[in-house]
């Protein structure tokens, strides 16, 4: 009888130790985040239960065998795993992690895109921030007609800002969100200003893209340059903007425009064609759009880069004044052996 009691006691002790191990070694075991307070974990839209468990293990966050067993025990499966980005804190236990993943409390992320010249560049920049691939975003951007635009005007839809989205946003969801944000930006006040200028929102964006391409350093010049180009439009004078020629060539490494570059037969060549080009030559910032809508009224028709690369321009009303400014600039280039 004593032997039986000892045997049962031993079995009970082993069972108790097993329970303690399972509780503290699995249920209450902390995830691994190294020396960081938190780590980011991404679940793709195509990931299933096995993928999630395997990825946690390969990243050293949680053991595939231990966490996988607990996750199945707590009914975590492909049906209640939600794609997105998760912030996993070092204080989390395996039990906490199961509950967190099952809750679907995915992070919002910040999307930004600045200094974008083409739809291809836009797709590349955005794809680095969300799950959607560059190709899937670009494919959606090429469907401009379904949003009421053509390929040359679609850039006008995208207004650089800080946008909150989910990491698992698709290419179509991204574009639809930008179309909605574009409509929100063009409120009644801005539409009224554009109408007063006899310009559409796309034309305002096109003009703003030229203004920003001419001056991307000194914002105080934006309303002045906008007024200068608006004067040219009003008078039917060719805009003669170098950045539009660069866009026509598609070579954004061009720093100076020579006579040979002006020969290109493109609607974006504002030395050859009067009026605005077919669409924006970059995605203009919202501040530039507002600078165009609030353009400075003056009589300037010409502008020339100031000597000594101050980044600013010398403005002129007459061609003789402009030639004087241009000679100063050429003399500066020659003196400094700049070609």
7 located within any domain: no
Contact 149, 273 (CB under 8 A): no
Write out pLDDT tens, residues 114-171. Answer: 999 999 999 999 999 999 999 999 999 999 999 999 999 999 999 999 999 999 999 9
How far apart (Å, rounded) are the C-alpha atoms in residues 284 and 215? 11
Asked if residue 226 and residue 155 are part of one domain, the reply reads no
Asked if residue 269 and residue 180 are part of one domain, the reply reads no
How far apart (Å, rounded) are the C-alpha atoms in residues 156 and 276? 14
153 located within any domain: yes
Write out pLDDT tens, residues 199-255. Answer: 999 999 999 999 999 999 999 999 999 999 999 999 999 999 999 999 999 999 988
Domain of 274, in residue numbers: 188-298
Does 27 score more than 80 pLDDT?
no
Whichever domain contains 73, its CATH number is 3.30.1490.480
Asked if residue 193 and residue 132 are part of one domain, the reply reads no
Nearest to 135 by CA among 184, 85, 171: 171
Asked if residue 245 and residue 204 are part of one domain, the reply reads yes
* Tally of domains in the chain: 3
Question: Which residues, including other chains, have CB under 8 Å from residue 52's CB and lie 6 or more apart?
Answer: 43, 81, 101
The 10 Å CB-count burial string (b at 16+, else e) for 84-96 is bbbebeeebbbbb
**What are phi and psi for residue 61, nearest 5 degrees?**
-85, -45
Write out pLDDT tens, residues 246-293. Answer: 999 999 998 888 889 999 999 999 999 999 999 999 999 999 999 999
């Amino acid at each position: 009888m004593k032997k039986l009691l000892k045997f049962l006691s031993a079995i009970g002790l082993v069972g108790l130790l097993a329970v303690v191990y399972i509780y503290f070694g699995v249920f209450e075991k902390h995830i691994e985040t190294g020396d960081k307070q938190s780590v980011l974990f991404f679940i793709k839209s195509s990931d299933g239960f096995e993928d999630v468990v395997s990825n946690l293990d390969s990243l050293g966050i949680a053991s595939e065998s231990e966490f996988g067993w607990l996750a199945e025990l707590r009914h975590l499966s492909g049906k209640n795993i939600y794609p997105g980005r998760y912030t996993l804190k070092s204080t989390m236990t395996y039990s906490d992690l199961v509950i967190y993943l099952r809750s679907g409390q995915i992070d919002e992320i910040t999307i930004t895109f600045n200094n974008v010249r083409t739809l291809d560049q836009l797709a590349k920049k955005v794809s680095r921030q969300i799950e959607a691939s560059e190709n899937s975003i670009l494919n959606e951007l090429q469907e401009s007609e379904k949003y009421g635009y053509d390929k040359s005007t679609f850039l006008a839809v995208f207004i650089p800002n800080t946008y909150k989205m989910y990491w698992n946003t698709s290419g179509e969801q991204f574009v639809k969100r930008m179309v909605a944000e574009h409509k929100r930006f063009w409120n009644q006040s801005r539409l009224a200003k554009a109408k007063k200028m006899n310009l559409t929102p796309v034309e305002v964006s096109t003009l703003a893209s030229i203004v920003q391409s001419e001056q991307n350093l000194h914002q105080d010049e934006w309303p002045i340059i906008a007024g200068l180009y608006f004067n040219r439009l009003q008078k039917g004078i060719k805009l003669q903007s170098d950045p539009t020629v660069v866009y026509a060539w598609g070579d954004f490494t061009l720093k100076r425009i020579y006579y040979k570059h002006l020969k290109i037969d493109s609607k974006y060549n504002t030395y050859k064609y009067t009026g605005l080009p077919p669409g924006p030559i970059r995605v203009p910032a919202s501040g530039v759009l507002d600078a165009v809508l609030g353009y400075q009224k003056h009589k300037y028709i010409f502008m020339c880069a100031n000597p000594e690369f101050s980044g600013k321009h010398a403005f002129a009303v007459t061609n003789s004044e402009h030639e004087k400014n241009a000679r100063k600039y050429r003399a500066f280039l020659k003196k400094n052996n700049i070609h």
